[in-house]
Amino acid sequence: MKKQPHYKYNQRVFGTLSATFLSISLFVYCIDPYWLFHRKPVWDGHNIVLALKMRFTKSLQVIFRQPRVVIIGSSRVYRGIPTNKLPQYNAYNLGISSLRISEADAYVRHVMRWTPVKVIVLGLDYFMFDHAHQSEPGFDSSVTNFNYLFKAIPSSLLTLMAVKDSLTAMEGEKKSDGHWTWSGFKITKPRPAERMEVVVNTFYNDHKEVTDQELNKLENIIRQTRLKGIELKLFISPLNQRMINRMKKMGVYEEFERWKAMISEVARSNNVKILDFSKNNPFFIDHTEHGSSTHWIDPSHYSPKTGLWILTQTGFLVAHKNQNN
Amino acid sequence: MVFWNYHITSLYYCHTRFCAGFIQTLHQSLERLIKYYARAKNICRSTLAQGCFQSMLFNSFTFLLIFLPVTLLIYYKIVAYARRETAILWLVVASLFFYGWWNLAYVLLIVSSILFNYLTGSLLARYKARWILWIGISANLLLLIYFKYTAFIIANIMTLTGTHLEINGIILPLAISFLTFQQIAYLADVYSGDTVEFSFHHYALFVLFFPQLIAGPIVHHREMLPQFTQGNLKFRHHNLAAGFTIFTIGLFKKVIIADNLSGFSDTIFAAAEIGNHLTLIESWTGALAYSFQLYFDFSGYSDMAIGLARMFGIRIPINFNAPYKASNIIDFWRRWHITLSRFLRDYLYIPLGGNRKGKLRRYINLIVTMLLGGLWHGASWSFFIWGGLHAVYLIINHGYRYIFRAFSLSPHAGTGKLLSTSLTFLAVVVAWVFFRAESFSGATEVLRGMSGLNGFVLDNTSHAATIWILISMAIAWVFPTTQDFIRSPEPVADQHNQPAIVWRTSPIWSFLTALMAIIVILNLHAVSEFLYFRF
- pLDDT class for B445, splitting at 50, 70, 90? very high
Q: Verify whether the Cβ–Cβ distance A155 to B524 is below 8 Å.
A: yes
Surface of A (212-271) touching B: CB under 8 A: 228
pLDDT per residue as tens digits for the range A74-85: 999 999 999 998
Is residue B446 helix, strand or coil? helix
* Contact with chain A for residue B101, Cβ under 8 A: yes
* Contact with chain A for residue B210, Cβ under 8 A: no
Q: Which residues of chain A have pLDDT under 50?
A: 1, 321-325
Left, alpha or beta for B178 (phi > 0: left; psi -120 to 50: alpha)? alpha
Specify the pLDDT at position B492: 46
Instruction: Give the integer Cα–Cα distance in Å for B367 and B364.
Output: 5
Helices (H), A47-184: 48-52, 54-65, 75-80, 101-114, 148-158, 160-170
Surface of B (474-493) touching A: CB under 8 A: 489
* Contact with chain B for residue A22, Cβ under 8 A: no
Contact A136, A100 (CB under 8 A): yes
- Output the CA angle B509-B511-B515, nearest 5 degrees: 115
* Contact with chain A for residue B260, Cβ under 8 A: no
Q: Verify whether the Cβ–Cβ distance A155 to B525 is below 8 Å.
A: yes
Strands A69-73 and A91-95: parallel
Q: Verify whether the Cβ–Cβ distance B240 to A112 is below 8 Å.
A: no
Could you give the C-alpha distances from B316 to B76, B215, B237, in angstroms and in order?
19, 13, 18
Highest mean pLDDT among A13-22, B189-198, B348-357: A13-22
Could you give the C-alpha distances from B8 to B4, B16, B22, B237, in angstroms and in order?
6, 12, 20, 64
Instruction: Give the integer Cα–Cα distance in Å for B303 and B243.
Output: 9
Contact A72, A224 (CB under 8 A): no
More confident residue, A293 or B456: A293
Helices (H), B407-525: 415-436, 440-450, 463-478, 482-485, 507-522
Q: Verify whether the Cβ–Cβ distance B46 to A109 is below 8 Å.
A: yes
- Report residue A180: phi and psi, to 5°: -75, 150
Lowest-confidence pick of A80-89, B20-29, B351-360: B20-29
* Contact with chain A for residue B50, Cβ under 8 A: yes
Specify the pLDDT at position B277: 87
Helix axes B381-406, B415-436, angle to 10 degrees: 160
Which of B505, B515, B519, B527 has the most A C-beta neighbours within 10 Å, making it the best mutation to test the interface with A?
Answer: B505
pLDDT at B358 over 60: yes
Chain A residue closest in CA terms to B47: A146
Average pLDDT, chain B: 84
Which residues in B94-211 belong to E strands, given as ranges? Answer: none
Cα distance from B10 to chain A (closest Cα, Å)? 41
With beta carbons under 8 A apart, name residues in chain A contacting B56.
147
Q: Is the dihedral of CA B463, B297, B62, B68 positive or negative?
A: negative
* Contact with chain B for residue A6, Cβ under 8 A: yes
Q: Verify whether the Cβ–Cβ distance B237 to A160 is below 8 Å.
A: no
* Contact with chain B for residue A17, Cβ under 8 A: yes
* Contact with chain A for residue B38, Cβ under 8 A: no
Nearest by CB to residue B52, choosing from A7, A10, A145, is A145
Is residue A73 helix, strand or coil? strand
Q: Verify whether the Cβ–Cβ distance B510 to A16 is below 8 Å.
A: yes
List the catalytic residue out of B201, B202, B220, B377.
B377
With beta carbons under 8 A apart, name residues in chain A contacting B507.
12
Chain B residue closest in CA terms to A7: B237
* Contact with chain B for residue A113, Cβ under 8 A: yes
Instruction: Give the integer Cα–Cα distance in Å for B304 and B212.
Output: 9
- ipTM of the complex as predicted: 0.85
Cα distance from A162 to chain B (closest Cα, Å)? 9
Q: Verify whether the Cβ–Cβ distance B241 to A10 is below 8 Å.
A: yes
With beta carbons under 8 A apart, name residues in chain A contacting B524.
154-155, 158-159
* Contact with chain A for residue B164, Cβ under 8 A: no
- pLDDT class for B491, splitting at 50, 70, 90? very low
Nearest by CB to residue A13, choosing from B46, B65, B244, is B244
- The residue type of A208 is K
Cα distance from B93 to chain A (closest Cα, Å)? 19
- pLDDT class for B22, splitting at 50, 70, 90? low
Q: Verify whether the Cβ–Cβ distance B47 to A228 is below 8 Å.
A: no
Surface of B (491-520) touching A: CB under 8 A: 505, 507, 509-511, 513-514, 517-518
* Contact with chain B for residue A19, Cβ under 8 A: no
With beta carbons under 8 A apart, name residues in chain A contacting B46.
109, 112-113, 228
Which residues, at least 6 apart from A215, have a Cβ–Cβ distance to it below 8 Å?
A: A129, A262, A263, A266
Q: What global pTM score does this model have?
A: 0.85
pLDDT at B488 over 70: no
Q: What is the mean pLDDT of residues B181-207?
A: 87
B525 is catalytic: no
Specify the pLDDT at position A268: 94
Residue among B36, B71, B212, B189 at smallest CA distance from B125: B189
With beta carbons under 8 A apart, name residues in chain A contacting B521.
21, 158-159
Could you give the C-alpha distances from A300 to A76, A198, A202, A288, A308, in angstroms and in order?
7, 11, 10, 10, 17
Q: Verify whether the Cβ–Cβ distance B54 to A17 is below 8 Å.
A: no
pLDDT per residue as tens digits for the range B390-442: 999 999 998 887 777 776 665 555 567 888 899 999 999 999 999 999 888 89
pLDDT at B28 over 70: no
- Report residue A80: phi and psi, to 5°: -105, -25
Contact A90, A116 (CB under 8 A): no
Specify the pLDDT at position A323: 43
pLDDT at B134 over 50: yes
Nearest by CB to residue B60, choosing from A151, A158, A160, is A151
Specify the pLDDT at position B249: 95
Could you give the C-alpha distances from B420 to A24, B52, B324, B416, in angstroms and in order?
49, 49, 11, 6
* Contact with chain B for residue A25, Cβ under 8 A: no
Nearest by CB to residue A142, choosing from B42, B54, B101, is B54
Q: Cα Rg for chain A, rounded, in angstroms?
A: 22
Q: Verify whether the Cβ–Cβ distance B510 to A113 is below 8 Å.
A: no
More confident residue, B122 or A177: B122
Give, for A233, the enclosing helix (H) or strand (E): strand A231-236
Report the DSSP beta bridge partners of residue A231: A119
Instruction: Give the integer Cα–Cα distance in Å for B150 and B469.
Output: 38
Burial of A160 (0-12, 13-18, 19+ CB in 10 A): middle
Contact A240, A283 (CB under 8 A): yes
Surface of B (217-246) touching A: CB under 8 A: 236-238, 240-242, 244
Which residues, at least 6 apart from B71, have a Cβ–Cβ distance to it below 8 Å?
A: B90, B91, B94
Is residue A92 helix, strand or coil? strand
pLDDT per residue as tens digits for the range B214-235: 888 988 888 888 888 887 788 8
Could you give the C-alpha distances from B304 to A143, B62, B110, B318, in angstroms and in order?
27, 16, 23, 11
Q: Verify whether the Cβ–Cβ distance A5 to B518 is below 8 Å.
A: no
pLDDT per residue as tens digits for the range B54-109: 678 898 999 999 999 999 999 999 998 877 899 999 999 999 999 998 888 889 99
Residue among B307, B305, B321 at smallest CA distance from B241: B307
Lowest-confidence pick of B33-47, B77-91, B316-330: B33-47
Q: Verify whether the Cβ–Cβ distance A144 to B240 is below 8 Å.
A: no
Is residue B21 helix, strand or coil? helix
Which residues, at least 6 apart from B312, have a Cβ–Cβ distance to it below 8 Å?
A: B72, B75, B91, B211, B233, B239, B243
Length of chain A: 325
DSSP B254-285: IIIIIHHHHHHHHHHHHHHHTTPPP-HHHHHH
Instruction: Give the integer Cα–Cα distance in Å for B324 and B428.
Output: 9
